Amino acid sequence: MNEAQLNLAAGALQVSLVPDTGGSVASVSWCRPAGRVDLMRPMSGEARGRRDATGAAMFPMVPFANRICGNRFAFEGRTHRFQPNVPGEPMSLHGTGWQSAWTVARATSTDAELVLDRVEPKEPFSYSASERFVLRPDRLIITIRVINRGECAMPFGFGLHPWWILESNMTLKFRSTHFWLEGPEYIATDRIIVPHELDFSQAQSLPRTWRNNCYSGWDGRAEVGFPNSGIGLLIEADSAFRHLMLYSDPDKSVICLEPQTHASGALNRLDRNDEDDLGIVVLRPGEAIEGTVTFTPYELGDVG
């Protein structure tokens, strides 16, 4: 079953899904007594018309997140090669799920399951993926599951890529143990202890400069505050997600905080997976991995 747009509602929360556009979320809104507010950047009509997942409120990253350096990585004696998949971007980015049309496997007024079978002999990854959306009156719960459909073991990962419009007094709060420096062509280089000026363990205003950095050793909890609206959004992820990507581009007036299973650039560091806790999971044929992220809006002052 294919749907152009799928709408869910529970209590004061409303979610719109666009399965044919990368299995993306088009909007998440909260109808408060003070009025309706968008909890993520809503998808524009233009982006919807182009089926452009980068214009969505949120899209899935599968079977990996971030960039693959040099468009290749080696694993168990084989070199896997990729093609650039974004105009103007030299390296393959965020896998293939976000550029694929997903199918609605099941849907009610409050929950839905989207599925994708991506078995392409010429591509390094063959997999099946699902996204389960469960909307409660107070929260949105998303579970991603990936199954290796290939003929050999492969390293897998996934994540969620939400977008917000950058506001001058927005705040972030999350705890992590490490921070990855960014090198040329947006590639993560060295992992360091989180420096004081880049620490968000207490709520801090957003950076006013470019940020495209991975935080590792994340405890699975993050808060995004919107003082102008008097609300916050609590993000809670299970143990599959121990990495958080912060992307902030003042020139584009957007910010992203992306829960993901593995560190940025992890596929190019497979020989260091245990040492650095990169989060890559090797799946043999038929094996699966899944993880759940919950988004809960709140009035500022209710959660700290």
What digits encode the pLDDT tens for the residues 187-217? 899 999 999 889 999 999 987 788 999 999 9
Q: With pLDDT > 70 as the criterion, what percentage of the chain qualifies? A: 97
d(CA 182, CA 165): 23
d(CA 139, CA 161): 18
Please name the residues in contact with 152: beta carbons below 8 A apart, sequence gap of 6 or more. 76, 78, 285
Query: Would you kindly state where each structural domain of the chain is located, as residue ranges?
Result: 6-299
Site of tokens 């990936």: 146
DSSP conformation class of 126? -
User: Mind listing the pLDDT tens digit for each residue in 59-111?
Assistant: 999 999 999 999 999 999 999 999 999 988 899 999 999 999 999 999 999 99
Is the distance from CB of 154 to CB of 148 less than 8 angstroms?
yes
User: Mind listing the pLDDT tens digit for each residue in 31-54?
Assistant: 998 889 999 999 999 999 999 999
Question: Average of pLDDT values for 241-245?
Answer: 97
Q: Chain centroid to CA 172: how far?
A: 16
Identify the CATH class of 6-299: mainly beta
Mean pLDDT for all residues in the chain: 93
d(CA 299, CA 197): 27
Which stretch of DSSP H or E encloses residue 177?
none
Residue 1 confidence (pLDDT): 44
DSSP conformation class of 136? E
Q: What is the pTM of this model?
A: 0.95
- Indicate whether 2 pLDDT > 80: no
